């Protein structure tokens, strides 16, 4: 069978590929999709291109990426420039400048980027540089490696001319000093002030790229690296099939290689929505059932511009810019209590 042939189970006809997250039922118990949907040529439920989607409510970032795409720019340029908007925004406390520090007061950044050809670059545990996503792009384009860490990544950035900046703003320092009074670390759902940005775009030529950038979990152990810079976990792009990006408690995403899983499920015929739901299912169906303590969310898009999103808990959202409309859409979620 050709990869891009779609064969649908009769029960899914007319539904599976167009169903939006707001229409999906969210049973308390995760159920595997009863119907298998396989990409076919006769699928006419495609979304229009170009398009950009991002985790959480980031209209300025998607607007920037959309602008790049409208001008005929590549998806790669769009996701980089879109993510840079959030990195530069000091009010966002989960990414770039103004990010909340680790427990020792250091703001350390993780970021990655992946292009239509499967090239990728990432930086982990990077300090003193605002635009981690751009450093990641330079790792991809200017080195024979895929990942640089810590001081090595920082040195590389300086050599490229990135300025040194103190990323710890007064507001984030104050929050950290408040936290130190109890020093209690719990990755509590949604109060991490999530605005880690993961962004996926398809350009006018139909090519897909993705990027992800974050300061990681607030008050993490010094040296901790999450899912966001790990290709396959925080982000994965397969230009034949689609792409996925994750947010939430990175450890849980890494344990299930979440973004690669979502894209492979799409390769096997799942819609982006079904694939995101199954990837969340792999987490919540673990024997220890500890998912009540943390959030994970995925957004995905397939080659035809059909999108999906799903999270463990309520209040995850994605921002989508498509057909000239920039909107924030609440994601369907697993845990209804
Ligand atoms: C991490 N996944 O470092 C990131 C955090 C995040 O919104 O997504 N926050 O684990």
| Domains of the chain as residue ranges with CATH | 3-25+34-333 (3.60.20.30)
Mean pLDDT along residues 5-13: 28
Nearest to 205 by CA among 307, 84, 114, 115: 115
Give 85-137 pLDDT, tens digit per residue.
999 987 766 777 777 899 999 999 999 999 999 999 999 999 999 999 999 99
Residue 247 CA: nearest ligand 1 atom is: 8
> What is the reported pLDDT for 20?
27
> What is the reported pLDDT for 316?
93
C-beta of 93 in contact with ligand 1 (< 6 A): no
C-beta of 259 in contact with ligand 1 (< 6 A): no
C-beta of 196 in contact with ligand 1 (< 6 A): yes
The CA-to-CA distance between both ends of the chain, in Å, stands at 42
With a CB cutoff of 8 Å and minimum separation 6, the contacts of 5 are: 38, 39, 40, 41
Residue 237 has pLDDT above 50, yes or no: yes
Residue 216 CA: nearest ligand 1 atom is: 3
Angle (CA) 81-84-88 rounded to 5° is 145
Nearest CA owner, ligand 1 atom 3: 216
Residue 303 has pLDDT above 80, yes or no: yes
C-beta of 217 in contact with ligand 1 (< 6 A): yes
> What is the reported pLDDT for 307?
97
Catalytic residue at 196?
yes
C-beta of 194 in contact with ligand 1 (< 6 A): yes
> What is the reported pLDDT for 180?
86
- The secondary structure element, H or E, covering residue 200 is strand 197-202
Instruction: Please tell me the distance between residue 37's alpha carbon and the centre of ligand 1 in angstroms.
Output: 31
Residue 110 CA: nearest ligand 1 atom is: 3
> What is the reported pLDDT for 179?
86
C-beta of 250 in contact with ligand 1 (< 6 A): yes
- In a mutational test of the pocket of ligand 1, which residue from 248, 256, 258 has the highest number of ligand atoms less than 8 Å from its CB? 248
> What is the reported pLDDT for 99?
79
Query: How far apart, in whole angstroms, are the C-alpha atoms of residue 210 and residue 108?
Result: 21
Residue 284 has pLDDT above 70, yes or no: yes
Residue 215 CA: nearest ligand 1 atom is: 3
Query: How far apart, in whole angstroms, are the C-alpha atoms of residue 115 and residue 96?
Result: 22
Instruction: Please tell me the distance between residue 162's alpha carbon and the centre of ligand 1 in angstroms.
Output: 24
Most confident of 138-142, 213-217, 248-252, 291-295: 138-142
- In a mutational test of the pocket of ligand 1, which residue from 111, 228, 309 has the highest number of ligand atoms less than 8 Å from its CB? 228
> What is the reported pLDDT for 194?
58
C-beta of 229 in contact with ligand 1 (< 6 A): no
pTM for this entry: 0.86
C-beta of 187 in contact with ligand 1 (< 6 A): no
Catalytic residue among 196, 214, 247, 271: 196
* C-beta of residue 295 within 8 angstroms of C-beta of residue 316: yes
Give 159-204 pLDDT, tens digit per residue.
999 999 998 888 888 888 888 888 777 666 555 555 689 999 999 9
C-beta of 304 in contact with ligand 1 (< 6 A): no
- Report DSSP letters for 86-117, one per residue: HHH-TT-TTSSTT----TTS---EEEEEE-TT
- In a mutational test of the pocket of ligand 1, which residue from 99, 101, 224, 250 has the highest number of ligand atoms less than 8 Å from its CB? 250
């Amino acid at each position: 069978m050709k990869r891009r042939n779609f064969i649908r189970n009769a029960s899914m006809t007319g539904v599976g590929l167009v169903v939006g997250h707001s229409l999906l039922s969210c049973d308390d118990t995760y159920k595997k999709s009863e119907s298998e949907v396989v990409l076919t040529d006769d699928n006419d439920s495609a979304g229009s291109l170009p398009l950009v989607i991002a985790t959480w409510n980031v209209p300025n970032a998607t607007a920037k990426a959309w602008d790049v795409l409208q001008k005929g720019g590549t998806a790669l340029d769009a996701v980089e420039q879109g993510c840079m908007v959030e990195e530069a925004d000091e009010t966002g406390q989960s990414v770039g400048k103004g990010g909340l520090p680790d427990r020792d007061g250091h703001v350390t950044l993780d970021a990655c980027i992946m292009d239509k050809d499967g090239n990728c670059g990432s930086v982990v545990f990077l300090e003193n540089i605002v635009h981690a996503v751009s450093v990641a792009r330079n790792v991809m384009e200017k080195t024979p490696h895929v990942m640089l860490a810590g001081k090595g990544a920082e040195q590389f950035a300086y050599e490229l001319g990135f300025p040194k900046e103190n990323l710890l703003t007064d507001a984030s320092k104050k929050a950290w000093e408040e936290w130190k009074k109890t020093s209690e670390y719990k990755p509590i759902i949604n109060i991490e002030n999530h605005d880690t940005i993961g962004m996926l775009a398809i350009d006018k030529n139909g090519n897909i790229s993705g990027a992800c950038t974050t300061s990681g979990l607030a008050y993490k152990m010094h040296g901790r690296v999450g899912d966001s810079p790990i290709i396959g976990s925080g982000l994965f792009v397969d230009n034949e099939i689609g792409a996925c990006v994750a947010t939430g408690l990175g450890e849980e995403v890494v344990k299930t290689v979440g973004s690669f899983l979502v894209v492979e499920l799409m390769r096997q015929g799942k819609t982006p929505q079904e694939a995101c739901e199954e990837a969340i299912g792999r987490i919540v169906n673990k024997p220890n059932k500890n998912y009540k303590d943390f959030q994970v969310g995925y957004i995905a898009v397939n080659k035809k511009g059909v999108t999906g999103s799903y999270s463990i808990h309520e209040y995850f959202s994605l921002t989508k810019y498509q057909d000239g409309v920039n909107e924030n859409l609440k994601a369907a979620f697993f845990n209804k209590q």
